[in-house]
């Protein structure tokens, strides 16, 4: 009985072992007709071809927009505002009425301006035309040119010629000419030469030689006029060059107002500091009368604008935006140039986003950005990186940097709306690309598994640009070679090739 019981315990184990052995033989195909169906059971190996295409690297950050600029709307005329039609936060459009004036206060202002104009008119009519003055020489020298004549307007002559008279302040004339190639080294400052003007010859001295130009001076004895040609010769009689005779140190005599009564000197006459050059008349008339006329014209223009404003006494918005601040309330007396409100201009916006410290080094001013607002996720706006902050904000061991992006606004976008910016930090055309999941790492070494005649070969490669979809291969692989894609997600739109079912997505070049 005891032997029978032991045989009963062993039998189940023999049966289990036999079943396992049979399964192994069947799986290996050693039993004819009982091999597994390879088409239905064999795992599918996912692969992809390396191809030429474009790649871009994007970094992103989120933030909120604000108006790029704000401008104040100011009170144009003193008076009282009868009604203010806006509140802080209101959206306003270009030309929209912001406030209305009290007409009676404008009537009072016009009366005040008219009384001021009448007083100016009386002052002008009482203004005499007398007043004389003498213009004296501020320096000693020789009169070389007289621009003003009797009865000329002083202000007109000065505006036209720069002065009433030109005096050679040191009593010398000069002539400049290009440095000659021959005997150039012998022409040194202080050297003597001969100068011929209008048939007369006079001793000259080389004043300076600078930047290829020689300047020679002669004493002005009153025989020579300006603008005449002067020919310069060496002491041996060799011609060196020629130029136009001018004052060595010209001094232009100026005055502001008046009419020339008489000219007291002549050209080439020697004068001293304090010598009377001109007698003038109507000096007071020109100065005070013209100032009064100017004040009157400004007041007339102001009255004209004020009367036109009185017909439609409202303050309008100079552009579209929203009211950021309101400074004045209704039924308040206001002064000219007082601030009514501040309007934020939403035609130009700034989006400030935070970029991780690992990405900020690749962000540069001028890079394009695609912006998606939380309120309009199906659309995008174009922007440009405008500013990168150098001060980081550390939170939880991670430092972010503020990046400012400029973009155009429209009627739908409002202040403080949330948005995400996708900044293109790098891009390349005609790059050799594989899915990013095809690249594996072994320490610092990068490699891919290349399909070769039904087997895989480990291939070390060099990586260029890389994003969450593609990796650029700069060395170690050729276009159209097939690589194994590991861990590929089904929802990624990549150029994938799978067991006879071939499809691709995105831009691709042969």
Structural domain contains residue 413: yes
Select from 386, 404, 427 the last residue of a domain.
427
What CATH number is given to the structural domain containing 351?
2.40.30.170
Q: Which of 4-18, 197-211, 215-229, 368-382 has the lowest mean pLDDT?
A: 4-18
User: Which carries the bigger pLDDT value, residue 24 or residue 484?
Assistant: 484
Query: At residue 24, does pLDDT exceed 60?
Result: no
If asked whether residues 172 and 261 sit together in one domain, one would say: yes
Give Cβ neighbours of residue 339 (< 8 Å, ≥ 6 apart): 72, 73, 74, 75, 327, 328
If asked whether residues 138 and 214 sit together in one domain, one would say: yes
Select from 409, 427, 445 the last residue of a domain.
427
If asked whether residues 450 and 404 sit together in one domain, one would say: no
Question: For position 98, what pLDDT does the model report?
Answer: 94
If asked whether residues 279 and 148 sit together in one domain, one would say: yes
If asked whether residues 357 and 412 sit together in one domain, one would say: yes
Structural domain of residue 381, as residue ranges? 58-66+346-427
Question: For position 225, what pLDDT does the model report?
Answer: 87
Average pLDDT, the chain: 84
User: Which carries the bigger pLDDT value, residue 75 or residue 286?
Assistant: 75
Query: At residue 327, does pLDDT exceed 50?
Result: yes
Cβ–Cβ < 8 Å for 334, 348: no
Query: At residue 309, does pLDDT exceed 50?
Result: yes
Query: At residue 229, does pLDDT exceed 90?
Result: yes
Structural domain contains residue 21: yes
Question: For position 282, what pLDDT does the model report?
Answer: 82
DSSP H or E stretch at residue 344: strand 339-356
What CATH number is given to the structural domain containing 337?
2.40.50.100
What CATH number is given to the structural domain containing 196?
2.40.30.10
If asked whether residues 408 and 491 sit together in one domain, one would say: no
Structural domain contains residue 288: no
Query: At residue 398, does pLDDT exceed 90?
Result: no
Band (33; pLDDT cuts 50, 70, 90)? very low
From residue 213, alpha-carbon distances to 205, 207, 226, 227, 470 in Å are 14, 11, 20, 18, 67
Structural domain contains residue 212: yes
How many domains does the chain fold into? 5
Question: For position 288, what pLDDT does the model report?
Answer: 75
Structural domain contains residue 509: no
User: Which carries the bigger pLDDT value, residue 171 or residue 98?
Assistant: 98
Select from 427, 445, 473 the last residue of a domain.
427
If asked whether residues 164 and 260 sit together in one domain, one would say: yes
If asked whether residues 184 and 259 sit together in one domain, one would say: yes
Residues forming a β-bridge with 449? 458
Question: For position 44, what pLDDT does the model report?
Answer: 60
Query: At residue 21, does pLDDT exceed 90?
Result: no
If asked whether residues 257 and 216 sit together in one domain, one would say: yes
pTM of the model: 0.48
Q: What is the percent of the chain with per-residue pLDDT over 90, rounded to a whole number?
A: 58
Band (36; pLDDT cuts 50, 70, 90)? very low
Q: What's the average model confidence in pLDDT over 349-366?
A: 92
Question: For position 127, what pLDDT does the model report?
Answer: 66
């Amino acid at each position: 009985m005891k032997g029978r019981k032991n045989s009963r315990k062993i039998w189940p184990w023999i049966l289990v072992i036999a079943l396992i052995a049979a399964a192994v033989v069947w799986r290996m195909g050693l039993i004819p007709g009982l091999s597994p169906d390879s088409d239905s059971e064999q795992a599918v190996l996912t692969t992809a071809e390396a191809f030429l295409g474009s790649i871009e690297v994007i970094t992103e950050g989120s933030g909120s927009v604000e108006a790029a600029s704000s401008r104040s709307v100011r009170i144009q005329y003193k008076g009282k505002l009868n009604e203010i039609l806006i509140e802080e936060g209101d959206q306003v459009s270009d030309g929209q009425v912001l406030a209305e004036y009290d007409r009676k206060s404008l009537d009072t202002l016009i009366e005040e301006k008219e009384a001021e104009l009448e007083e100016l008119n009386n002052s002008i009519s009482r203004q005499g035309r007398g007043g004389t003055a003498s213009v004296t020489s501020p320096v000693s020298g020789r009169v070389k040119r007289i621009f003003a004549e009797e009865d000329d307007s002083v202000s007109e002559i000065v505006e036209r010629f720069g002065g009433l008279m030109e005096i050679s302040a040191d009593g010398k004339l000069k002539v400049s000419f290009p440095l000659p190639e021959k005997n150039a080294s012998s022409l040194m400052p202080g050297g003597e030469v001969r100068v011929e003007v209008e048939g007369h010859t006079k001793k000259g001295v080389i004043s300076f030689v600078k930047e290829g130009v020689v300047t020679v001076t002669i004493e002005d004895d009153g025989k020579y006029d300006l603008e005449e040609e002067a020919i310069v010769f060496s002491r041996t009689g060799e011609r060196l060059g020629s130029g136009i005779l001018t004052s060595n140190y010209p001094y232009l005599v100026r005055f502001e107002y008046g009419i020339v009564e008489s000219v007291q000197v002549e050209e080439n006459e020697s004068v001293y500091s304090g010598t009377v050059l001109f007698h003038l008349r109507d000096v007071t008339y020109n100065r005070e009368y013209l100032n009064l006329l100017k004040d009157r014209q400004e007041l007339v223009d102001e009255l004209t604008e004020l009367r036109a404003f009185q017909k439609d006494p409202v303050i309008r918005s100079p552009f579209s935006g929203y009211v950021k601040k309101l400074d004045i309330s209704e039924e308040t007396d206001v002064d000219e140039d007082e601030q009514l409100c501040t309007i934020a201009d939403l035609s130009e916006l700034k989006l400030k986003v935070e970029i991780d410290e690992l990405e900020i080094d690749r962000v540069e001013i001028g890079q394009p950005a695609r912006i998606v607002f939380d309120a309009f996720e199906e659309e995008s706006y174009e922007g440009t990186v405008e500013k990168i902050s150098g001060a980081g904000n550390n939170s939880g061991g991670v430092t972010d940097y503020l990046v400012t992006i400029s973009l155009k606004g429209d009627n739908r976008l409002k202040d403080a709306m949330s948005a995400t910016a996708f900044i293109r930090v790098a891009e390349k055309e005609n790059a050799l690309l594989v899915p990013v999941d095809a690249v594996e790492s072994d320490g610092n070494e990068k490699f891919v598994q290349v399909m070769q005649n039904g087997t895989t070969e480990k291939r070390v490669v060099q990586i260029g640009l890389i994003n969450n979809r593609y990796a650029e291969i700069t060395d170690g692989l050729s276009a159209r070679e097939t690589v194994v894609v590991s861990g590929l997600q089904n929802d990624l739109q990549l150029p994938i090739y799978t067991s006879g079912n071939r499809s691709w997505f995105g831009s691709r070049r042969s």
